[in-house]
């Protein structure tokens, strides 16, 4: 047997590396409270300055009022052979005409058409409410005049058709012939004529009782919140600056 043979040495098992626990710095909330209490005068000063500035701004800024008006588009008959009634003008078409300045170019005017209605709402925000009110009145007058022309034209057309049918009936009566069908047509035209509905202003241009801008309470609340946050930020910055100078 070979005396020089050395059996393999068993190596000890490798030890798993120890997990290094992260060192967390303890955050003491009392330190923050102490800084806030120490700098409370500065924080209050910033807070009051922001509130006062917001109040002054709200008082100095020109007041804007809301002026609005509403119209209901009238109904007009179509051709006798078609659906009996339709609106004088499609609401969306009228909205586009107002927005495109067909009735005059007036900046800041907002026009809308509530879904599934024949209503048109026109509103504006202005610091000259009386002037803007007159502008909306002029728009209403132009729209009413245009729509009334269409209504009157259709009314005249129906009256002419009724008159022609009545002449035929008179002629047939003189000949002793039946006129029931023609009389039904006249009755139908009469119903169409009676159902004509002109465009109406259902809400005259009205100025809001209170200004919509500025909003003093909202401005002051926002300024107060911002003032608190800015004051606290400046307090901590000042504390850090003093410590940095000492070190």
CB 196 within 8 A of CB 74: yes
Which DSSP symbol is given to 41? H
pLDDT tens for each residue of 178-219: 888 889 999 999 988 888 999 999 999 999 999 998 888 898
Residue 230: count other Cβ atoms within 10 Å of its Cβ: 15
pLDDT tens for each residue of 13-61: 556 555 555 444 455 678 888 888 888 888 899 999 999 999 898 888 8
Count of alpha carbons within 13 Å of 170, Cβ hemisphere only?
6
Which of 19, 20, 141 lies closest to 71 in space, CA to CA?
A: 141
Residue 55: count other Cβ atoms within 10 Å of its Cβ: 14
Residue with tokens 């465009």: 199
Q: How many residues does the chain have?
A: 247
**Contact residues for 103 (Cβ-Cβ < 8 A; gap 6+):** 97, 138, 139, 142, 143
Query: What's the pLDDT score for residue 138?
Result: 94
CATH 1.10.730 fits 65-151+195-207, yes or no: no
Which of 118, 109, 54 lies closest to 85 in space, CA to CA?
A: 118
Examine the pLDDT at 169 and tell me if it is beyond 80: yes
Mean pLDDT, all residues of the chain? 84
Residue-range domain boundaries for the chain: 35-61+216-240, 65-151+195-207
Can you tell me the mean pLDDT for 120-141? Answer: 93
Which of 189, 186, 149, 154 lies closest to 169 in space, CA to CA?
A: 186
Q: Which residue has the higher pLDDT, 89 or 2?
A: 89
129-174 vs 180-194: helix axis angle to the nearest 10? 170
């Amino acid at each position: 047997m070979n005396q020089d043979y050395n059996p393999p040495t068993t190596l000890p098992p490798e030890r798993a590396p120890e997990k290094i626990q992260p060192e967390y710095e303890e955050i003491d909330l009392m330190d923050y409270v102490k800084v806030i209490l120490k700098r409370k005068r500065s924080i209050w000063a910033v807070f009051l300055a922001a509130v006062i500035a917001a109040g002054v701004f709200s008082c100095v800024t020109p007041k804007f009022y809301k002026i609005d008006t509403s119209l209901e588009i009238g109904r007009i008959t179509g051709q006798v052979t078609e659906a009996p009634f339709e609106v004088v003008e499609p609401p969306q078409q009228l909205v586009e005409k107002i927005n495109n300045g067909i009735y005059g170019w007036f900046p800041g005017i907002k026009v809308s058409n509530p879904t599934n209605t024949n209503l048109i709402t026109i509103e504006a925000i202005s610091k000259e409410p009386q002037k803007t009110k007159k502008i909306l009145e002029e728009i209403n007058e132009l729209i009413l005049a245009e729509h009334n022309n269409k209504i009157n034209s259709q009314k005249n057309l129906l009256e002419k058709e009724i008159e022609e049918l009545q002449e035929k009936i008179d002629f047939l009566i003189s000949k002793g012939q039946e006129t029931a069908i023609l009389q039904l047509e006249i009755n139908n035209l009469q119903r169409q004529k009676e159902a004509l509905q002109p465009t109406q202003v259902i809400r005259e241009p009205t100025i809001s009782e209170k200004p919509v801008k500025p909003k003093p309470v909202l401005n002051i609340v926002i300024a107060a919140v911002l003032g608190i946050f800015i004051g606290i930020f400046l307090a901590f910055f000042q504390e850090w600056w003093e410590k940095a100078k000492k070190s």
